[in-house]
Chains A and B, each alone.
Chain A
Amino acid sequence: MSALIKVGAIDDDRFDRSRRIGWLDMERIQSARCFVAGAGALGNEVIKNLVLSGVKSIMLVDMDYVVRSNLNRCVFFREEDASRKSMKTDIIAKRVKELNSEIRITPINSRIEEIDLGCLKDYDVVFGCFDNIGARLHLNAHAYYYGVPYIDGGTDGITGKIQVVLPPDTPCLQCATNKTHMKILEKRFSCTGADISIYEPKIPAEITTTSIIAAIQVREGLKIISGKKENCIRHVCYYNGLLNTFDSFEVSLDPMCPVHLSSYFKSF
């Protein structure tokens, strides 16, 4: 008996063109669970790319509401969201349904430091889309502890970077820090006696750099989900938007890194 085909059926499949890319494992991608921390510019782009790529289950964490200055680079935010001071995670969870009605996004309106990150062990990939080093290091440490791949993105004007952390094989974000990172942390949480004041610098940002960095974050995530870890960035990649150059560098594992030491002691 010969097979029956329906004319035009190819165009009824949302992911037909994705399936034509040999290394993408669409079954795994569609059943993957992703954790996205930060719902700003990178977070918007990462969510958009994950959803268009076929990921259906996402947890999204952010503590902030939409402001007008977000509107130059955040695809899910609208002017009315800024007027109403709507929470970023709620808006993304709502608008993403316009891209794919089957998406399940769990929005968490909270600082990353205030939630129980034991849940990370239930996720396939963690994406860091923060605007500060403290939150990055916090999530990096927890993702490493629970053995979940962590993909961090950062931008500043027309430069950006992506770091891929694959526990227990690779160095982590903490391994790549130096005194300049610690000085920023000290400045952010400067103690003024009775209170701790939080210094939040306004970092230059625009959409083209943001979309490039977020796209690479998601591409590395899709490689991990599709079983292609060996093709991921090793270990950190810097993007220079003025010259349009990418440079990847290795980071050596710091034997005194507290993240690796705690993961080591966990094994006993």
Chain B
Amino acid sequence: MPLRIKVRNAESGATVEMELEGENTIDDIIEGAAGYWEKDAGAYVLRRGRRLLRGQQTVAEAGILNNDELELIPDPEGG
């Protein structure tokens, strides 16, 4: 059964709802949210609570639950 989650844009505070299957990956969520907000081609990470989620993990492996709120954070590359 599909899950419904909310992804928050750390830069703007905007949110988007997303419907997921258990086999979807964190990479899929990042790609979907970054694409929705037409983000620059930079690096992003996704957090759930106080934990950053690994890209290759599936939604099921990451323990994501229905109605969870995740946050998309830009990962700064400059120095």
A residues neighboring B (CB under 8 Å):
38, 40-43, 128-133, 153-156, 159-161, 175-181, 183-184, 187, 203-205, 236, 238, 240, 248-252, 254, 256
Task: Tell me, in angstroms, the Cα distance from A236 to B43 when the chains sit together.
Answer: 15
B positions within 8 Å CB-CB of A: 10, 26-27, 30-31, 34, 41-47, 50-52, 54-56, 73-79
Nearest 3 A/B pairs, CB to CB: A178-B55, A203-B78, A156-B76
The answer to whether A236 touches B79 (Cβ under 8 A) is: no
Q: Using A179-B27, A238-B73 as known contacts, say yes or no to A156 and B54 having CB atoms under 8 A apart.
A: no
- Known contacts: A179-B30, A183-B41, A184-B41. The answer to whether A155 contacts B50 by CB under 8 A is no
A180→B30 contact, CB < 8 A: yes
Contact A154 B77, beta carbon cutoff 8 Å: yes
B79 in contact with A42 (CB, 8 Å): yes
**Among A155, A180, A184, which residue has the most Cβ atoms of chain B within 10 A?**
A180
A41–B77 Cα gap in the complex (Å)?
Answer: 13
Q: What distance in Å separates the Cβ of A161 from its nearest Cβ neighbour in chain B? A: 5
Q: Specify which chain B residues have a CB less than 8 angstroms from the CB of A254 in the assembled complex.
A: 54, 56
Chain B residue at minimal CB-CB distance from A153? B79
